[in-house]
Structure 1
Amino acid sequence: MAQPQAVPISQLALPQLEALKSQVEQEVDFFSSSMQQLKIAQNKLRVSKESLKMINKDTADKEILVPLTSSMYVPGQLSNVNHVIVDIGTGYYVQKTVEEAVAYFQRKVEFIGEQKDKVQPMLQEKVMMRRAVVEIFNTKLQQQMAALSTKPSTQNV
């Protein structure tokens, strides 16, 4: 079976360049969105880790607000300052010591950082590709417009 041959983008026609530009823009949007979601998740984990550091024997039996959802909190009392319940995803919760929970959140922050490090070069590559396609597209469009404007008029006078 014959391998498909690569064609330089400068040899593509305007409709093909436009389709390629659209595809690359979708890829840039996807990678940008992925980076944004990773940053949000990483920040939430950092906040959780920092919040755990405030739990100590002095906070026992203190009034706190307990999150039921991301926007709804109810008053509660912190009765056990040695153990916390950690949401580990997909509806599973695990009881951990505060130290174990801090370590868990730190591992998750680092893991997401590694994922961001993998996505970032792909995003940069797609942005550079988009820039090249747009440049060639605009050049070809200007050439086509110039060719149309220099054609002699065939109107009858």
Structure 2
Amino acid sequence: MASGEKGGQIDLGSLSSQQLSQVKKQLDEEVEHLTNSYGNLRGAQHQFRQCISSIASGVAESTKGKPLLVPLTPSLYVPGELSDTEHVIVDIGTGFYVEKTTQDAVKFYNGKIEELGKNIKDLENIVNGKTNNLRVVEEVLRQKVLASSQGPQGGAQAS
């Protein structure tokens, strides 16, 4: 048996091979989507860690007044100069930027990393559950296919 979307149980043995194939296909798609989401969350977490690293290494008193490249987009940089080592502009999402102290910016990014970590753990549990359901469906489908391929031969011998 595998658990359904609403917490119910489905007797996999009562489903036809075609229905089991459809369930398997749906579970495959869900696992793929969730795995992609997992990768995206990990990527976002990595970006926040890079922001902390940039603050630690790039916004220092030793870089004040020296020429540097300022990122406008991931692939477009313009020459600039760091004038304030105590404050940074932080992208808080959906195109909104806020000026924060470097300490507050690091706290903000650490909070985001922690929040994403919790979401990643929850998602891991969901992916593991779906993967286990997928294995059960695959096993039942395999048994049904084997039984149907051996069924007519076994029946002919018994007659």
| Category of TM-score, reference length = shorter chain | 0.7 to 0.9
| 2:98 aligned with 1:72 | no
Structure 1 stretches lacking a partner, 5+ long:
153-157
- TM-score, scaled relative to structure 2: 0.87
The correspondence for 2:51, drawn from 35, 48, 52, is 48
**Is the aligned partner of 1:146 residue 2:136?**
no
Q: Give % identity.
A: 34
Separation in 1 of the partners of 2:152 and 2:70? 69
Higher strand share: 2
Deviation digits for residues 12-31 of structure 1, max 9, x if unmatched? 11011011111111111121
In the alignment, the residues of structure 1 paired with residue 83 and residue 122 of structure 2 have an alpha-carbon distance, to the nearest angstrom, of 42
Please give the secondary structure, in 2, of the residue aligned with 1:88: strand
Provide the secondary structure at the position in 1 that maps to 2:73. coil
Distance 1:18 1:31 in 2: 20
Tell me which residue corresponds to 2:33.
Answer: 30
User: Residues 8-27 of structure 1 correspond to what in structure 2 (within 5 A)?
Assistant: 8-27=11-30
4+ long deviations beyond 4 Å: 148-152
**Residue matched to 2:136:** 132
Aligned to 1:107: 111
How many pairs does the alignment contain?
148
TM-score using structure 1 length:
0.88
Q: Give the CA RMSD over aligned residues.
A: 1.6
Change (3 A) 1:7 1:100: closer
Give the deviation of 1:53 after TM superposition: 0.8
* Structure 2: runs of 5 or more not aligned: 1-7
Q: Report deviation, 1:6.
A: 4.0
User: Structure 2 CA distance, aligned partners of 1:73 and 1:109?
Assistant: 26
